[in-house]
């Protein structure tokens, strides 16, 4: 099953397509004033037809600009779940973005 993750930040729009957990495409663009347009540009750059993607998740400060997203979790949620998936022993994550930074505490009870 193919899935797509899109991070719409204040500086960049990034996307990755996974097929059964393996990266098959990724793209990044500098964010402008029209986030919907930037999202479409990144989707085109992936080279994967949207019809071939079963599920899309969007995160970041501009996640609402991804109209076709099935879910829109916050950056804190995606960072915490990502670190729990990749490194379940980690209990503190420092996330530094273009406009803000944050520390996120996790626990063994956190869901990946």
How would DSSP label each residue in the chain?
-EEEEEEE-SSEEEEEEEETTEEEEEEEEE--S-HHHHHHHHHHHHT--GGG-SEEEEESTTGGG-TT-SB---HHHHHHHHHHHH-TT--EEEEE-SS-EEEEE--TTS--
Residues 49, 19, single domain; the answer is yes
Q: What is the CATH number of the domain that holds 46?
A: 3.30.420.40
- Residue 110 is assigned to a structural domain of this protein: no
Per-residue model confidence (pLDDT) at position 17: 96
pLDDT digits (tens, 9 = 90+) for 58-78: 999 999 999 999 999 998 888
Residues 7, 61, single domain; the answer is yes
Residue 54 tokens read as 């079963």
Residues 7, 60, single domain; the answer is yes
On the question of pLDDT at 99 being above 80, the answer is no
On the question of pLDDT at 100 being above 90, the answer is no
Residues 86, 52, single domain; the answer is no
Residues 80, 38, single domain; the answer is no
Please, which residues have CB within 8 angstroms of residue 110's CB and are 6 or more apart in sequence? 80, 81, 84
- Residue 111 is assigned to a structural domain of this protein: no
On the question of pLDDT at 94 being above 80, the answer is yes
pTM: 0.84
Per-residue model confidence (pLDDT) at position 96: 85
| H or E element that contains 77 | helix 75-86
- Residue 41 is assigned to a structural domain of this protein: yes
pLDDT digits (tens, 9 = 90+) for 1-42: 899 999 999 899 999 999 998 999 999 999 988 999 999 999
Using a pLDDT cut of 90, give the percent of the chain over it.
Answer: 57
Residues 49, 20, single domain; the answer is yes
The count of structural domains within the chain is 2
Residue 112 tokens read as 């990946």
Residues 83, 58, single domain; the answer is no
Residues 45, 96, single domain; the answer is no
Residues 80, 33, single domain; the answer is no
* Model confidence band, residue 110 (pLDDT cutoffs 50, 70, 90): low
Look up the domain containing 55 and give its range: 2-65
């Amino acid at each position: 099953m193919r899935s797509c993750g899109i991070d719409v930040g204040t500086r960049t729009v990034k996307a990755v397509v996974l097929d059964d957990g393996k990266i098959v495409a990724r793209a990044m663009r500098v964010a402008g004033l029209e986030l919907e347009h930037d999202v479409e540009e990144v989707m085109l750059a992936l080279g994967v037809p949207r019809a071939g993607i079963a599920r899309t998740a969007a995160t970041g400060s501009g996640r609402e600009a991804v109209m076709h997203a099935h879910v829109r979790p916050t950056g804190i949620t995606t960072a915490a779940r990502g670190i729990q998936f990749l490194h379940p022993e980690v209990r503190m994550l420092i996330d530094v973005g273009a406009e803000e930074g944050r520390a996120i505490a996790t626990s063994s009870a956190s869901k990946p």
